[in-house]
Chain A
Amino acid sequence: MVHPVIKLVAQRIALGLLLLLAASVLIFVGTQILPGDVAQSILGQSATPTSLANLRAELGLNEPPVTRYFNWLGAVLQGDLGKALTNGQDIAEAMGKRLGNTLFLAFCAAVIAVPLAIGLGLIAVRYLNRWPDKLISMVTLATISVPEFLLGYIAIFLLSVQFRVFPSLATVYDGMSLGEQLYAIALPVLVLVLTVLGHMMRMTRAAILNVMQSAYIETAELKGLRPFTVIARHAFPNAIAPVVNVVMLNLAYLVVGVVVVEVVFVYPGMGQYLVDHVSKRDVPVVQACGLVFAAVYIGLNIVADVVSILANPRLRHPK
């Protein structure tokens, strides 16, 4: 007899894979209906009809879309993402580097933002409607409301032009030590932390407040536990499911949605890589990026689901 939790988790993963397959269809269809012709984009203005026809044949653009989809999917399943049309680079290799950079930035931002947001959420509940709560809410709501590029420019103006504390360029490349890389990305990390902090902190606060009305919280209080212990030990574990969902949503955002921050701080991540290739109609790269982004989103959502399941005692300890 399989433990129900394992069954539930297996179901989630299977569903996720199915969703990824559906996403791959959408990505493929989406890139096919992009206006403009790949062969035309590559050859430019001086393309002759013969050279266009040759290139189309070479790229397999004359095959029916369904055949092309399965050819592409088959290659991807074998780990072959193909070559970029524009500069002939191996996509897996070129994208691997960019993905590594993006994950590095996202990881650094998350390591600071997640504990900070949850901690601030706990403090806000502890001092509900008193000045610490109001201050925390005000600051985080302000930073989430300011567009991230503006936060970026303000950070650059203050911290790298006026007081030369951190570099305004976050370019990282091979041969930099970890310390140098961390120093280089200080400002984008700061901006990303400020951007995602508010959402997670507000959700933590709201979710905990929700369980604070429960009878067992009252019991804990009557037992004379310190208010912060009540919140952290008794309320928070029961509020973890909604918090994890929001955390995962923000992590996914840190991976797939930071193109603006990348541009402002000149960070070589996935966002700029994707945008450059979309404008050049480099379809294989766009498809590969789309697939990676979809996988990250779906993967993180699976993690959120699984954590929610595990956080539920009734599922963990079935009768």
Chain B
Amino acid sequence: MKDDLDLILDHIDQVRLSRRAFLNRSAAFGLTAALGTALLPMGAKAQEPKKGGILKIGLGGGETTDTLDPGLSDSPVPFSVNRQWGDTIVDVTADGQLEPRLAESFEANADGTVWTFKIREGVKFHDGSDMTVDDVVATFKRHSDENAKSGALGIMQGISDIKADGQNVVLTLATGNADLPYLLSDYHLVIQPKGGVDAPNAAIGTGTFKLTSAEAGVRYAFEKNPNDWDTTRGHYDGVEILVINDATARSSALQSGQVHMINRVDPKVAKLLGRAPNVSVVNVSGRGHYVFLMHTNTAPFDNNDLRLALKYAINRQEMVDKILDGFGGVGNDIPVNAAYPLFTALPQRDYDAAKAAEHYKASGHDGSPIVLIVADTAFPSAVDAAALFQQSAAAAGIPLEIQRVPDDGYWSDVWNVKPFCASYWGGRPVQDQMYTTAYLSTADWNDTKYFNTDLDALILSARGETDTAKRTDIYAQIATIIHDDGGVICPMFNDFIDAHTDVIAGFEKDPNYEMMGGWASAKTWMA
């Protein structure tokens, strides 16, 4: 233990160990937090968040067509913009725990059909008005309205009644859902005054920063909200978000010091960028994954032997090494991974040309080329990934024909329309939401056209199950069905790769989304 303590003190002297890491390690040696803090010399105390400065963020994934309506956010820049000015009632922490935000606490009845959220008091919107229970109810009602076109509509449709009860919001569900608080952490469900019904684009919320200027696809500026209800966050005087869609422009802006942090570093340059002076690259494995989708109701993919043949014919490790440059993990033909709560790992399916050939033969396919449609918008380097797939399949005697199409129109004319194409999923906070969005027979985005009543029944029963062990078991069954019979080929889970200059302190890994789940500006500071 003596050596360990010396090591810690050594690190503190070099101000290498963050305050949190220090407290964690000292706790591991049985030191109390108070003693741990007392051991910190003056130099390390400087790691306390410093106030001040204007944070400049360069983000890819914004367009001139973006709006400020949180219900319509569907890309990284609007997501990050919402995070500056708004809050949800619940959030998911970096280690996957639920954290009450604008709700102070929440509880469910025994079967998960009635949920009560106690709303925090004394919180003010940027316009000075009080955030009330009615605002929360109005927000949820707006996102439940089909005309509002909210991205959270699918979540809200499961809620049959929304009402205020004193300081509580009571939500009644048609069928029990043990994951409801996770669903309400959805980034669309930002609480707005009067639900944002009259002014969905006003960008007035309860967040760390107030919007001062917005030009879609170009630049957003914010100033510190002096009345922030959460005093542990918000160290900058202001934030500026610059939309930089070109990956090279983004990394050069970071290197030249024009911005302090960027998202979506190209995996191919991430290692090089990490070697640049004064720049740190932060990669975190998340729930996002790249997929090749087969429509299980369309020939030849209606034959499970052919599906298995293709699943065995893809080299997952090669994809991770060459397409992600190592910044990711192998997939296992299910849309979930260890980043999800209640996850059970299945035996890993590897590239096996012999087994692929065997299944291909058993499928009785006539030998005509199987057409895989792909565009670069499907995921970064999707066309290269398809070429690798083509090569590994050819080694098993399976002829793949790659049909490359333009990015423009891909999401309306190819994905969810053509029987075999490339795509990506951003992942969801919980398994139920991932399966409900894309694997339930009735889902709009059932993009493998997989219609399996047994699977539907399992998904619905897991949702209402409050016994964790039973639930974990049901999710293992669901995963097994999709792994063995489903239409998804999932070669890899991609990392979020952000980078920041060394001026920034407090940047931590958060698997929820890039930029510390969108909270980088609220939680970091300038050292």
- Interface of A with B (CB < 8 Å)? 35-36, 40-41, 43-46, 48, 51, 84, 86-89, 94, 97, 153, 156-157, 160-161, 164, 167-169, 171, 173-175, 263-266, 268, 272-273, 276-280, 282
Contact = CB atoms under 8 A, between A and B. Distances in A.
A176 to B, nearest CB: 11
5 contacts: A43-B149, A87-B67, A87-B216, A266-B245, A273-B64
B469 to A, nearest CB: 35
B253 A36 contact: no
B134 interface: no
- Name the 6 nearest CB pairs between A and B, nearest first: A86-B65, A268-B218, A160-B256, A276-B64, A87-B67, A276-B63
B249 A171 contact: no
Given A46-B153, A277-B65, A167 B256 contact: yes
Interface residues of B, number: 38
Given A87-B65, A273-B64, A276-B65, A164 B256 contact: yes
A87 B66 contact: yes
Given A51-B146, A87-B216, A268-B218, A171 B64 contact: no
A264 B64 contact: no
B366 interface: no
Contacts of A266: 242-246, 249, 253
Contacts of A282: 65
Contacts of A94: 64
Interface of B: 58, 63-67, 146, 149, 153-154, 213, 215-219, 242-246, 248-249, 252-253, 255-259, 407-409, 412-413, 416, 444-445
B242 A171 contact: yes
B73 to A, nearest CB: 12
B409 A35 contact: yes
B484 to A, nearest CB: 28
A167 B65 contact: no
Contacts of B256: 156, 160-161, 164, 167-168
Contact of A36 (B63, B257, B413, B445): B413
A263 B445 contact: no
A35 B410 CA distance: 11
Given A86-B65, A169-B244, A273-B64, A160 B215 contact: no
B248 A153 contact: yes
B249 A156 contact: yes
A121 B219 CA distance: 41
A169 B253 contact: yes
A157 B215 CA distance: 28
A226 B249 CA distance: 49
A196 B413 CA distance: 39
B323 to A, nearest CB: 23
A16 B243 CA distance: 38
Contacts of B213: 173-175
A160 B255 CA distance: 9
B249 A36 contact: no
A73 to B, nearest CB: 24
Given A44-B149, A168-B258, A272-B64, 9 more contacts: A36-B413, A40-B412, A153-B248, A161-B256, A171-B242, A263-B245, A266-B243, A273-B64, A276-B63
Chain B CB within 10 Å, residue with most, of A87, A273, A277 = A87
B256 to A, nearest CB: 4
Contact of A280 (B63, B219, B244): B63
Nearest to A87: B67
Given A45-B444, A45-B445, A266-B242, A169 B258 contact: yes
A168 B444 contact: no
Nearest to A282: B65
Contacts of B407: 279
Contacts of A41: 412
Contacts of A153: 248, 252
Nearest to B407: A279
Chain A CB within 10 Å, residue with most, of B64, B66, B409 = B64
A161 B255 contact: yes
B215 A272 contact: no
Contacts of B149: 43-44
A284 B225 CA distance: 38
Contacts of B63: 276, 279-280
A173 B218 contact: yes
A157 to B, nearest CB: 7
A122 B244 CA distance: 41
A161 B65 CA distance: 31
A209 to B, nearest CB: 41
Nearest to A170: B249
B215 A173 contact: yes
A46 B67 CA distance: 19
A152 to B, nearest CB: 9
A167 B445 CA distance: 43
B413 to A, nearest CB: 7
Contact of A168 (B64, B216, B249): B249
Nearest to A278: B408
Contacts of B217: 268, 272-273, 276
B258 A167 contact: yes
Contacts of B445: 45
Contacts of A265: 249
A46 B244 contact: no
Given A36-B413, A171-B218, A263 B246 contact: yes
A174 B213 CA distance: 9
Contacts of A89: 216
Nearest to B257: A164
B252 A168 contact: yes
A279 B407 CA distance: 9
A35 B242 contact: no
Given A168-B258, A273-B64, A45 B252 contact: no
Nearest to A262: B246
Contacts of A278: 408
Nearest to A37: B412
A29 B408 CA distance: 19
A157 B272 CA distance: 14
Contacts of B257: 164
Contacts of A169: 58, 242, 244, 249, 253, 258-259
